[in-house]
Amino acid sequence: AAGPAAAAMGLPWAGWLLPVGLLLPVRLLLLLRAAGACPCREPRLCRPLTGPAGPEVFVFDVGKETWKNYDWSKITTVAAFGKYDPELMCFAHSKGSRVVLKGDVPLKEIVDPAKRAAWISQQVDLAKKQYMDGINIDIEQEVNETSPEYYALTELVKETTDAFHREIAGSQVTFDVAWSPACIDRRCYNYTGIADACDFLFVMSYDEQSQIWTDCIAKANAPYLQTLVGYEEYVAMGIDPKKLVMGVPWYGYDYVCQNLSTDHICSLPKVPFRGAPCSDAAGSQVPYATIMKQVNSSLSGMLWDEVQKAPFYEYK
């Protein structure tokens, strides 16, 4: 799950009460017929959400029923990365929260405009069938700035946004980017063009050690100052800060130290990744709940890294 450091803002149903005549009900009826029977107890919950754009609290839902424990007074959008759950969709809509698809496709397949259009059409049809409110495009593939994929990816985002906005009223199209635009993991995208083409960029301010170019030692998943540098770089490119949503991790990394010094420097084995000699692949992700259960019984208890502005602990 992830969410930004921004104020929560609900999406009221009031938009459906505007005196827009008969056009809106007819369009809604056609949409419901195309999608099939509404799975919600109240048919209104199958309508796509509309409302003013504002600060986002954006959550990735990875399945099961964790959504039943969310603080729905804050959430504005849920990206469904797990198996489609109509109960989640109905409940989210009852709370004024959007539910959006996960979108991913091999970039080599969307260089061809016809294949690109076919993929977009499939996503729009799926969103309608499942009464969803848009799509979160999560393409984390390598792209060279001089490659056909570089231009095709920007066109994909623009054409996807145009199609969703045209076909589903009030829909939202977002794109996931690395913590920095500096070709992280060889993802050299047209960040300004993509930001212009969609509703906002979701900045994945985590896994920031996917490429370690300095000393091969354990570091925080999302070091504070490094994280801020990433946002400064996006803004310096001319991207409106209002188009950036901060993604934060609800997990840490467990590293086995080859050597642990008295001043808490943990040396890691070298596991290369996309050109870098070391990476966080030397460790494994650990959920927040597991961390909090283990920290008090660890060798060190909670420690603080003043440089990275991050907590850590040591255990055996």
Which residues are the active-site residues?
140
Burial class (CB in 10 A: 0-12, 13-18, 19+), 255: buried
d(C-alpha 293, C-alpha 302), whole Å: 12
Which helix (H) or strand (E) segment holds residue 91: the answer is: helix 86-94
Tokens 């399945």, residue located: 63
User: What are the phi and psi torsion angles at 68 (to 5°)?
Assistant: -70, -15
Q: Which residues of 56-81 are buried (b: 16+ CB within 10 A; e: fewer)?
A: bbbbbbeeeeebeebebeebbbbbbb
